[in-house]
Structure 1
Amino acid sequence: MTSADETPVRVGVFGLLGSGNLGNDGSLEAVLGYLRAEHPDAVVDALCGGPEVVATRYAIPATRLHWYRGEYRTASRAGAIAGKGLGKLVDAFRTAAWVRRHDVVIVPGMGVLEATLPLRPWGFPYALFLLCASGRLFGTRVALVGVGAAAIGNRPTRTLVRWSARLAAYRSYRDAQSRDAMREMGVDTARDEVYPDLAFALPTPSAGVPSGPPGPGPTGPGPTGPVCVGVMDFHGGDDDRARAEEIHLRYLDGTTRFVRALVEDGRPVRLLTGDECDAPVVAAILDAVDSPLVTAAEAASLADLMKETAAADTVVATRYHNLICALKVGTPTLALSYAAKSDALMDRMGLGAYCHPAREVDADRLIEQFRALEQRSAELRRTLTERNLVAARQLEDQFTELTAALFPAANQANANANANANANAHARQEAS
């Protein structure tokens, strides 16, 4: 607790939060849960993409990340180009002023050090560099907590990401591949740790009841209940811009054919998303399959996604945090993998054999993998229960380390309290 003569620690959270991506917001929710439990006197606010959403949903003050409101719209007219250019200059001063008001700034999870989806260097990479440089300039501790990273081909983006990581006071990663990628890009990672994704720290809703005994059908013996299919507005990564439309059409066609096969087998299908931009993919599948067995979920949070996946027999999903939600509630899951992070996650949770490339969806092969997954359903549920217990313990260690790195006063107070408790216990033993 903060004594009367102490100033509460000022903590900022930073990122594309409140912008429609459920995974990003789930990472924020996990960090806010940690702060409210371990540092309840901290004064918290955000610099983020969707300040109205963050302020309303999480009850903290929030400021818009970019001065120019059209930052993420394509600029083709001279006025828009000039506005973006001016915005970069203004954001340098805005970010510095915001950082200076804080003792600690936390970037909660997210793939902030990767370019596995299309990304421009003057967008978020530039914003992250401004944050980390301002932290170093003003002595504010900036922490990249449980973040994702990947090798980046574009030189300006790679340079901004590398320097952002170097300037941060604390770094941890959501998988070993992320740490390896930063090491390969020239960042000293000797003191950086790897922990499960922050979303594994969120509360888990009650698990759904698997529906029905094994039954025959095109997908073979196995569960006969609902299947959640998580879709994505997928066009490849930052290096796939020339083939973006080809990749998207192949992904959409393969996923649609898979959904149609499930429906022909009489399986109810629940379509999931993880970002507002995924809605057109849902609409295209609903239009192409046109069956009452196919419905779309309206999830507004990772908690909603977890409830959906807990009620399913099996999940097939693309977005990283769709996978996390399914794995966290213990539902057997197959990944339509679009990046190494998905493969690493599935391997960590004991389902490394059940990955299928999102860039080259082969519906027939996907059905075969789905059949194999469902045949091992009971065994895999037990595996996921064990792996989730391990993940929970590891995230407790992550938050303990974070307190030691970012809140030295609180950490010393806890150490003193423990020492006093041990001394009192020893005195009682001596007295007896």
Structure 2
Amino acid sequence: MTSANETPVRVGVFGLLGSGNLGNDGSLEAVLGYLRTAHPEAVVDALCGGPEVVTTRYRIPATRLHWYRGEYRTASRAGAIAAKGLGKLVDAVRTAAWVRRHDVVIVPGMGVLEATLPLRPWGFPYSLFLLCATARLFGTRVALVSVGAAAIGDRPTRALVRWSARLATYRSYRDALSRDAMREMGVDTTRDEVYPDLAFALPTVPANAPSGPPGPVCVGVMAFHGGNDDRARAQEIHRRYLDGTIRFVRALVADGRPIRLLTGDGCDEPVVAAILDAVDSPLVTAAEAASLADLMKEAAAADTVVATRYHNLVCALKVGTPTLALSYAAKSDALMARMGLEAYCHPAREVDADRLLEQFRALEKRSAELRRTLAERNLAATRHLERQFNTLTAALFPAAGHAHTHALREAP
């Protein structure tokens, strides 16, 4: 508890939160749950992509991450290019002012140290670097908590990511591959730990055990165009992914299986529309999920899940539903291996509907056994995350010194 003479610790959360990505928001929800349980006295606010959503949904004050509202739109005109450039300078000042007001800043999960999807160095990598650099300048502790990382080929992006990680006070990763990638990029990871994705700390929705004839299948789709190094082949990769997924859904419909299409980001909606148009069957419907809790409810009601987005996989595995991954990055393979389903991965870049259907049928034959495995692995993940939260408390919230530090920082 905070005594009457002490100033409550000020905690900021940072990232592309409230921007339509359900996985990012689920990570925020998990960290807010930890703070409200372990540190109810803390004053929490956010610097994020969608401040209106974060304030409305999570009841914390929030500030827009970028001064220029067209930050993530392609700039082709001189005025837009100039505005983006000016925005980078303004954001440096805004970020520093926001960081200075905090004792602790937490970056909750997310793939903030990777470029497995298209990414420009002057976008989020620059924002993360501003956060970590100004935090080091003002003595604010920054924690990168259960984040994803991957080796990055683009030199400017790699440099920004590497320095951001080096400047952070605390780092943990959601899989060993992420820690290895940071080590390869020149970060000392000797004291860094690996923990499950933060979504495993969210409340669990129990899965319905299948009974009777084969039941519904959730198919999680994604506006997948390859990674940061695939820009030249993006349309070809997307067409191959979409065509293979449509063929797979048609095969399930031919077997009489009800299909629920899942997404994880607003940009996935055109993929859903393309599948509904191509298959044109009352057996195929689209779920309207606004949170990871909604995704978990959908997955819990299904016999089986086949999904692409990382947090679609997390939700399905967390509720204990047998899952097949259309894997677009090593992080998906690592997650499936951690949960005991490494045999059920299929490459998103090369979707072979016939082979995917074989894997799907093999998965369903082992359904009862895999549900027991998932129950055991989920219990272990929950306990592991509890240990991380205890470690976070020790690293970020020392018993004394908050009031003194904050008073000095606010002094004129």
Show the counterpart of 2:193: 193
> Under a length normalisation based on structure 2, what TM-score does the superposition of the two structures give?
0.97
* Cα distance in structure 2, aligned partners of 1:371 and 1:206: 23
Q: Secondary structure of 1:397's match?
A: helix
Cα distance between partner residues in 2 of 1:311 and 1:211: 12
Match in the other structure for 1:240: 230
Partner of residue 349, structure 1: 339
Counterpart for residue 419 of structure 1: none
**Partner AA of 1:73 in structure 2:** R
1:207 offset after TM fit, Å? 2.2
Q: Is the 8 A contact 1:111 1:148 kept in 2?
A: yes
Whether contact under 8 Å (1:269, 1:293) holds in the other structure is yes
2:304 and 2:321 in contact (8 A); partners too: yes
Question: Letter of the aligned partner of 1:2 in structure 2?
Answer: T
Counterpart in the other structure of 1:176? 176
Shift, 1:205, TM fit: 1.6
Give the match for residue 116 of structure 2.
116
The residue that corresponds to 1:204 in the other structure is: 204
1:120-142: CA deviation from partner (whole Å, max 9, x where unpaired): 00000000000000110000001
What residue in structure 1 maps to residue 409 of structure 2? none
User: Residue 408 of structure 1 aligns to a residue in which SS?
Assistant: coil
Equivalent residue number for residue 410 of structure 2: none
Give the Cα separation in 1 of the matches to 2:27 and 2:189.
22
2:27 maps to 27
Q: Please say if residues 334 and 355 of structure 1, whose CA atoms lie closer than 8 Å, have aligned partners that are also in contact.
A: yes
Deviations 1:101-129 (A, max 9, x none): 00000000000000000000000000000
Residues 209-358 of structure 1 correspond to what in structure 2 (within 5 A)?
Answer: 209-213=209-213, 224-358=214-348
SS in 2 for 1:69: coil
Q: Can you list the C-alpha shifts for 1:53-110, whole angstroms capped at 9, x where unaligned?
A: 0000000000000000000000000000000000000000000000000000000000
Query: Considering only CA atoms, is the larger Rg found in Structure 1 or Structure 2?
Result: 1
SS of the residue corresponding to residue 399 of structure 2 reads helix
Q: Which residue of 2 aligns with 1:127?
A: 127
Residues 209/379 of structure 1: CA separation in 2 closer, same or farther (3 Å cut): closer
| Residues 1:370 and 2:363 aligned together | no
Task: Identify the residue that residue 98 of structure 2 maps to in structure 1.
Answer: 98
Q: Which residue of 1 aligns with 2:390?
A: 400
> Which amino acid is the alignment partner of residue 25 of structure 1?
D
- Do the aligned partners of 2:206 and 2:320 also contact (CA within 8 Å) in 1? no
Could you tell me which amino acid in structure 2 is paired with residue 59 of structure 1? R
Q: Deviations over 1:230-270 (max 9, x none)?
A: 00000000000010000000000000000000000000000
CA RMSD of aligned residues (A): 1.1
Preserved contact between residue 112 and residue 148 of structure 2 (Cα < 8 Å): yes
CA contact (8 A) 2:22 2:265 kept: yes
Identity of aligned residues (%): 89
> Structure 1 residue 206: deviation in Å?
3.1
Q: 1:400 to 1:361 in 2, by over 3 A?
A: same
What's the CA shift for 1:211?
Answer: 3.9
For 1:235 and 1:206, how far apart are their aligned partners in 2? 33
| SS of equivalent to 1:13 | strand
Equivalent-residue separation in structure 2 for 1:373 and 1:19 (angstroms): 34
Shift of 1:151: 0.3
Higher relative contact order (CA 8 A, sep 6+): 2
Q: Distance in 2 between matches of 1:50 and 1:172?
A: 25
Could you tell me whether the CA contact under 8 Å between 2:142 and 2:168 is conserved in 1? yes
**1:31/1:108 contact within 8 Å kept:** yes
Could you tell me how far apart the structure 2 residues matched to 1:211 and 1:27 are? 33
Name the aligned partner's letter for residue 283 of structure 1.
Answer: A
- Whole-angstrom distance in 2 between the partners of 1:301 and 1:256: 25
Return the offset for 1:210.
1.7
Gaps of 5+ in 2: 403-412
Give runs of ≥4 in structure 1 deviating > 4 Å.
none
Equivalenced residue count is 402
**Aligned 8 A contact 1:403 1:410 in 2:** no
Secondary structure of 1:86's match? helix
1:383 matched to 2:377: no
CA–CA separation in structure 1 for the residues paired with 2:107 and 2:36? 16
Matching residue within 343, 350, 362 for 1:360: 350
- Cα separation, 2, equivalents of 1:212 and 1:159: 55
- Quote how far apart the aligned CAs of 1:411 are: 12
- 1:308-343 Cα offsets, whole Å, 9 max, x none, are 000000000000000000000000000000000000
* TM-score in terms of structure 1 length: 0.92
Aligned with 1:205: secondary structure?
coil
CA offsets per residue over residues 261-287 of structure 1, 9 Å max, x none?
000000000000000000000000000
Does 2:411 match 1:409?
no
Q: Distance in 2 between matches of 1:212 and 1:29?
A: 36
**Corresponding residue of 1:6:** 6
Cα offset for 1:212? 1.7
